[in-house]
Structure 1
Amino acid sequence: MMKKTMKQYSFASQLKSLVVVFGIALTFASCAKEDVAQNPTNKEGDNDKNLTTFVAGDEAKTRTSLDYNSSDFSWEAGDYIYVKDDEGVMRKSTNAPTQKVASFRYRVPGKFGASASYKVYYLGKNSNGSQVTISANQTQTAPDNTEHFGTAGDYGIATATGAAGGSIFSFQLEHQPAYLVFQPYTSNTILQSCYLTKVEVSSDNDIAETYTVNTSTGALTGSAGSKQIVLTTSGSSSNPNGFPLTNSAASVTTNGAYMVIKPGTHTLRVRYWVKDVANNVEGTITKTLPATAYASNTYYDMTANLNVRNYDGDKYYMWDAQQNYWSGHEWNKATPWQPVLNGNSNSNYAQNNGDPRYYNEAFSYGADNKATHSPCKDLPNVNEMTWYAAMGEPRWDGDELWTTMGHLYKGGMWFKKKANISGFNPNTAEDGTDWRTNGNGRSWSVSQTLPDVADAGNYFYLPALGSYYSGQLRNVGNGGYYWSSSANPWLSYLAYSLFFTSGNVNVTSNGSRNGGFRAEALQ
């Protein structure tokens, strides 16, 4: 007996500014077709003239669910087959396994005397016999478990062979979808106390599909597809919180999650939904995969090192100050003054120009009224800020997780990169005027939709890191406050800044210079 080796690919990931590279690595031997005995022994009832026996199993352990470690496959309870008979009618087997078994003898009504071969279809558990759907919503109740394949959209076709006029046929079932095996792991101690609640996969083309069986040709025609599939891993009685993330290396037994997808070449964005049940914070960690050909009847290892971007607490500045807002006493120093939680405050902030943490009080009218100290002098000017806000297609992301000053947060905005904004000009704002000299301000609404998968590389992310006022930390996770290098052209105590919330982006000249905003270079 010959078995065909099925290659399995492994994607190793590293998180770099949310753009992830997965390498293709591992292979393992498995069944791409289920080999079955061609001359099975008759069993009791096989001579019923009204039913024909179609045999799958005995030696090869035919597949509707997988044991990942042993590469053994089994039929699950409720798995029926359909066979096209002499009259071209799709006939459903009268029986199905009542439990997980390695082999099974199906009994099928209809006329099967005119040929030595017949088309066999496995169409999953929810099929009406003429259609099968790779579902956009899949559910797995326990790690390393594929019993959901039958309802998720697994399907296969085969040609059963025997003797013309005979009553027993055997077949080799070849499955048609591709399968993703997610194996997240982390060394981040904050994440190791969290759970994987779902895996959301978005593609640049359809990965879920409804297929209709053409009984004349045996072909499966696809329609009504979807570019997104969500695999839910929480909510079951055995794993109500989801799958654990306690492992620091890939472990399919700890949290292996399996997804059925339409084969083809796809660029995928994978969002791992992670929840801290202690404080009820749930959000995403995103990985983006390059275009890859996902073949039918093939499993792909999607190993992913989960981590979240950490943002330093030392980039809060009064406008154009020489030192950061808490310089020398940041949250992680020996004598910390810096508050790290919303609403907390400390009175040891700079309150006069004798302190190098105090804002720059210099003032002159016009375009020359700009920052002179690093890092503020190197920030975008106000005209550039308007291009990001007006033409950068800002998109709010309320789910992507990140950390700052030892705590987990979520919430931020995606903007198009400068190179991808048509007409970007530092000398005039998006309305054609020079805001450095006119003290203008405006608000723009934002989208609640993430960038398309194919376009994601054209965007960069700004977290809602909040700000400090009079020594108090405010709005972390809800608002982003970013200085420009431009001062207000009329008032010496104000400067231009970019400010955003979930609903809008503002460029305003009314930012008080003594506010502790972020001084961040933009892409």
Structure 2
Amino acid sequence: MSKSMKQLTQFAACAVAALSVVACSSEDTAQQDNAKQNTTKGVATFDGSQPSNDTRALTRTTATYTLGGDAKVFWTSSDKIFVQDDANTFHQSNAANLYNPSNKAKAIFSLASGSFTLNNREVRYTGENGTDANTVTIASTQTQTTANDFSHLGTSGDCGTATATGSNGNYTFTLNHKASYLCFVPRCMNTDLGPNIKLTKIKVTADQPIAGKYDFSTGSLAQKAGEIYLNTVTLNTSDFSLNTTTSSLATNGAYMVVAPGTYNFTITYTIKDPATNVECDIVKTIASYNCQVGKINDITAWIDKDMKDYSKQYYMWDAVDYYWKGHEEDAPRVKGAMPAALTYAQNSSDSRWYNTVSFPAQATRTSNALPNANEITWYAKYGDMHWDISMFWSLNGHLYRGGVWVKTKAKLISEGHYSTSINANGDADLRTYNNFYNIAYPHNGNGRPANYETDYFFWPATSYYTSASQGTKGILFAPGEHCYMWTSTAAPITSPLYGRPGAYYLDFQTGDHLSHVQVGPRDFGFPNDPSIFR
């Protein structure tokens, strides 16, 4: 082959790519299993078994992957490589000419300049948009639009080197990848919630830089003096599904390129419920995570592990069974929604109907473990309630946020602010007070108070299902905006407006930041959850 600099030189790359897999779970442990990290579960290869006279290159810059197994990596039509000529000068090839565009398994590269007669020529790949054989940029913002699609591999920072064997313009090489790769497969174990939430992005924050413009002159990634390197990479996804209870690449497999190294990772999964328009961040941590050169690391995550579900916490006062038992499919699921059918309890023959005992009898069934009306006044007056929108929870298959932190019973007792036999104003025992009673106390706190983990409990803003006394029964009223809870105390009347027997309840309203101790009709569907009080 002529050595003319102007002659179009065909550079054939018959490649076997050294991209292998490490499969590790990150969700429940702070320490990565290093024994597993150093044992590849599979090796992803790009079949180089072509006839020696076949001048078509194998593919390598997008990938398909089997979880914990093999990756198949493909060229794209815009890929270019850099090849070292006889004078040790790198030249960039023309864009890949895909031999078989239907599977992109083969490509042919050609160079318009340089002399290529010697054996053992160095090849470098510096990304789909690479313009320099000596520089690789790992993007701090990466984008994947389809689950289990690593077509952004080449634009996000993939890179590799090889030694090409052959002579006189006919070469083959095995490409070794030099970046590291993360494969995320989050899951949601709440089968009602999973179908309704989406994964919008994943942010990885490390204790050392993982992205930026790297020196590649030695064939390995190295930081350059004067360059800015970032400890965070964000992968934007296109509302990937979380409707899976197992790790499923097809459902939401998401890929990221990072610089090799050992890191302490904080991984933030951003999820959103389009129906409630609630978006939240789920944060997981991994310590000493080894991102090896040329390895794919599987990272699983149980997204809703710490997210409590309150779907079955609503009761009419002291009912035997919860509000929608046996008719869960009819329960309104979002703010202001009507019941799908009028299948809430209609009368006392239904186990979901409220306790009809007369005042001053107290709760004997599902409300009997709740604080009585006197005790509730102490929480209301001295509970130092703090509204917190950073707390997330689920209800009837949807994502919600918000609630208040309230001082625990033990904390109130230690401060001398608690009694079962008299209210916080010291003027009545509400268990026997034969009159309408309604009182409110202001609270101005926001966020999480000091010592919230030991001295406070969280009360979610699950709101309630409306009473017949409000005109329409069974509507889900303003979840995420109001906190309600029954007490164990019956009341003589509901209010001058309703004029019917009722029961005491506690509520906190975000609009006025007031905690109220009130009496309401017993057919309200209020939360009835003694487990939150401590």
Tell me the TM-score range normalised by the shorter chain. 0.5 to 0.7
Counterpart check, 1:295 vs 2:283: no
Partner of 1:402: 394
What SS does the aligned partner of 2:154 have? helix
What SS does the aligned partner of 1:441 have? strand
Q: CA deviation at 1:150?
A: 1.9
Partners of 2:203 and 2:131 lie apart in 1 by 24
Q: Gapped runs of 5+ residues in structure 1? A: 14-18, 44-56, 235-241, 364-371
1:332 to 325, 334, 346: 325
Partner of 2:149: 145
Identity of aligned residues (%): 13
What SS does the aligned partner of 2:228 have? strand
Distance 1:411 1:373, change over 3 A: same
Partners of 1:402 and 1:505 lie apart in 2 by 24
Instruction: Tell me, yes or no, if the aligned pair for 2:465 and 2:477 is still in contact at 8 Å.
Output: no
Partners of 1:205 and 1:507 lie apart in 2 by 43
Instruction: Tell me, yes or no, if the aligned pair for 2:201 and 2:269 is still in contact at 8 Å.
Output: yes
Partners of 2:142 and 2:383 lie apart in 1 by 36
**Residues 73-97 of structure 1 deviation map (CA, whole Å, 9 limit, x = unaligned):** 22222123457899998x5613122
Partners of 1:27 and 1:417 lie apart in 2 by 50
Counterpart check, 1:229 vs 2:250: no
Structural RMSD (CA): 6.1
Counterpart check, 1:155 vs 2:158: yes
Partner of 2:94: 95
Q: CA deviation at 1:122?
A: 1.5
Partners of 1:133 and 1:203 lie apart in 2 by 14
The amino acid that maps onto 1:298 is K
**Residues 167-205 of structure 1 deviation map (CA, whole Å, 9 limit, x = unaligned):** 96956332313221426477836745x685634345465
Bigger drift between 455-464 and 97-106 goes to 455-464
Partner of 1:49: none
Instruction: Tell me, yes or no, if the aligned pair for 1:204 and 1:267 is still in contact at 8 Å.
Output: yes
**Residues 307-332 of structure 1 deviation map (CA, whole Å, 9 limit, x = unaligned):** 785424444465xxxx14xx457322
Partner of 2:211: 209
Instruction: Tell me, yes or no, if the aligned pair for 2:136 and 2:159 is still in contact at 8 Å.
Output: no
Partners of 1:111 and 1:456 lie apart in 2 by 70
Query: Which is higher, the Rg of structure 1 or of structure 2?
Result: 2
Instruction: Tell me, yes or no, if the aligned pair for 1:67 and 1:73 is still in contact at 8 Å.
Output: yes
1:499 to 483, 508, 514: 508
Partners of 1:22 and 1:11 lie apart in 2 by 10
The amino acid that maps onto 1:155 is D
2:41 to 24, 28, 45: 28
What SS does the aligned partner of 1:266 have? strand
Q: CA deviation at 1:485?
A: 7.2
Instruction: Tell me, yes or no, if the aligned pair for 1:12 and 1:21 is still in contact at 8 Å.
Output: yes
Instruction: Tell me, yes or no, if the aligned pair for 2:388 and 2:403 is still in contact at 8 Å.
Output: yes
Distance 1:271 1:414, change over 3 A: farther
The 5 A counterparts of 1:413-432 are 413=402, 426-428=413-415
Partner of 1:464: 461
The amino acid that maps onto 1:412 is R
1:66 to 60, 63, 67: 63
The 5 A counterparts of 1:247-286 are 250-253=247-250, 255-261=252-258, 264-273=263-272, 280=275
Partners of 1:476 and 1:284 lie apart in 2 by 17
Q: CA deviation at 1:127?
A: 6.7
What SS does the aligned partner of 1:11 have? coil
Distance 1:195 1:329, change over 3 A: closer
Partners of 1:261 and 1:359 lie apart in 2 by 68
The 5 A counterparts of 1:11-22 are 11=25
1:132 to 127, 131, 137: 137
**Residues 434-476 of structure 1 deviation map (CA, whole Å, 9 limit, x = unaligned):** x9349772243756xx9xxxx9999987543212454444424
